[in-house]
Amino acid sequence: MSQRSQSLTMIAWGKLKRNKAAMASFLFLIVLALVVIFGPMLIKATWGYTYNSGSDLQYAAPNSKHWFGTDIHGRDLMVRVLKGAQISLMVGFVGALVSLVVGVIYGMVSGYFGGKTDEVMMRIVDILYSLPRLIFVMVLITVLDEIFANWLFKNNFQSMASYSKIILLFVGLGLMEWLTMARIVRGQVLALKERTFILASRSLGASPLRVLFSHLLPNLVGVIIVYLTLTVPVVILEESLLSFLGLGVQAPHSSWGVLISDGAKIINPVKSYWWLLVFPGVAMSLTLLALNFLGDGLRDAFDPRQQK
């Protein structure tokens, strides 16, 4: 019986489906996304809490009305964890997308043009790899935040002004994490550009731009998906690190990093409000774990060396 040859993506999907940890993570992430989007609304409808509504119930331990307990202002922690998740996940995905755009373009140009260009461009990547990039991002975000917030305020984006730091986080963290993507894409392009279909396209007179975007890019989709999945948790971690240090997301917004930082501050021997650290910590760790499992699974699935 003849069988239609399967595309690489189909083979990868088939392999991924057999990887239980990756599939479980995938399901977990879908459920998480739904809970994070609709959870706050449901909680508001059921109990009437929003993420900033305080009450007299200071530091209530988890109970039937406040599943995750309450914080210093008597605010329900569950809403805050879910609202924080919205920001953290958004920063993670948008930041990873920024790094993807920069990394893919840089890697494609470097690999395609090769020679001296490639050498210089990759040397720059090597140097950036070994410098404390997060330190630069800290300085950059803090400095630009005031200017950007002011600009937003003056140009009739008042409602956006409080988001200026979050927008800067997208860009700053995205610009930090493009290096791996650039290296991987370059490697792929170096191998692909010797193939006959590229030669054919070039001999028909296609411009480099056309070769890059309509012939090489489609062949890179696999690696791009894999490294996008693996970059999201890294960006989420970095956002929370900056927020933990007080340089990232700030009130009125909150993120997992902010919540963890609030929780970590009040760990003491006399009375520990463990839920303030444990719930945001667990939520974030589970998400990162799921993203890493899924990313590893995807990498194995797209790896032709692991063909069975």
Partner 1 sequence: MTLFIIKRLIALVLILFVVVTGTFFIVRFSKGGPFDKDRKLPPQIEKLILAKYKLDAPLGTQYVGYMKSLLKGDMGVSYRYLNRSVNEIIGQTLPVSMTLGAVALVIALVLGVSLGSYAAVNQNKLGDVGSMVFALFSISIPTYVTAPLLILLFCLIIPLFPVGGWGRPSQVILPALCLSLPYIASVARLMRTSMLEVLNQDFVRTARAKGLPEREVIFKHALKVAILPVVSYAGPLAANILTGSLVIEEIFKIPGIGPFFLNSVTNKDYQLVGGVVIVYCMLLVTFNILVDIAYTFLDRRIKLS
- Angle, alpha carbons 176-110-132 (nearest 5°): 25
Burial of 300 (0-12, 13-18, 19+ CB in 10 A): middle
- Residue 120 contacts partner 1 per CB under 8 A: no
CA nearest to 83, candidates 47, 46, 53: 53
Contacts with partner 1 in 222-241 (CB under 8 A)? 233, 237, 240-241
- Residue 142 contacts partner 1 per CB under 8 A: yes
Minimum Å gap between C-beta 42 and partner 1 is 27
- Asked if residues 229 and 298 have their Cβ atoms less than 8 Å apart, the reply is yes
Out of 109, 247, 294, 301, the residue judged to bind partner 1 by CB under 8 A: 247
Pick 42 or 139: Cβ nearer partner 1: 139
- Residue 99 contacts partner 1 per CB under 8 A: no
Pick 222 or 263: Cβ nearer partner 1: 263
Question: Positive or negative CA dihedral for 35, 40, 45, 47?
Answer: positive
Q: State the Cα–Cα distance between residues 194 and 209, nearest whole angstrom.
A: 17
- Residue 132 contacts partner 1 per CB under 8 A: yes
Pick 187 or 208: Cβ nearer partner 1: 187
- Give the HSE-up count for residue 34: Cα atoms under 13 Å, Cβ half-sphere: 5
- Residue 96 contacts partner 1 per CB under 8 A: no
Q: State the Cα–Cα distance between residues 134 and 132, nearest whole angstrom.
A: 6
- From the list 5-13, 87-95, 135-143, 184-192, the region that binds partner 1 by CB under 8 A is 135-143
- Residue 121 contacts partner 1 per CB under 8 A: no
- Asked if residues 257 and 59 have their Cβ atoms less than 8 Å apart, the reply is no
Minimum Å gap between C-beta 247 and partner 1 is 7
Out of 16, 35, 160, 289, the residue judged to bind partner 1 by CB under 8 A: 289
Q: State the Cα–Cα distance between residues 35 and 29, nearest whole angstrom.
A: 10
Is cis: bond before 252, omega within 30 of 0?
A: yes
Minimum Å gap between C-beta 125 and partner 1 is 11
Number of residues near partner 1 (by CB under 8 A): 45
Q: State the Cα–Cα distance between residues 22 and 19, nearest whole angstrom.
A: 6
Q: State the Cα–Cα distance between residues 170 and 137, nearest whole angstrom.
A: 11
- Residue 209 contacts partner 1 per CB under 8 A: no
Minimum Å gap between C-beta 277 and partner 1 is 6
Residues that bind partner 1 (CB under 8 A): 127, 129-136, 138-140, 142-144, 146-147, 150, 233, 237, 240-241, 244-247, 257, 260-261, 263-264, 267-269, 272, 274, 277, 281, 284-285, 288-289, 292-293, 296
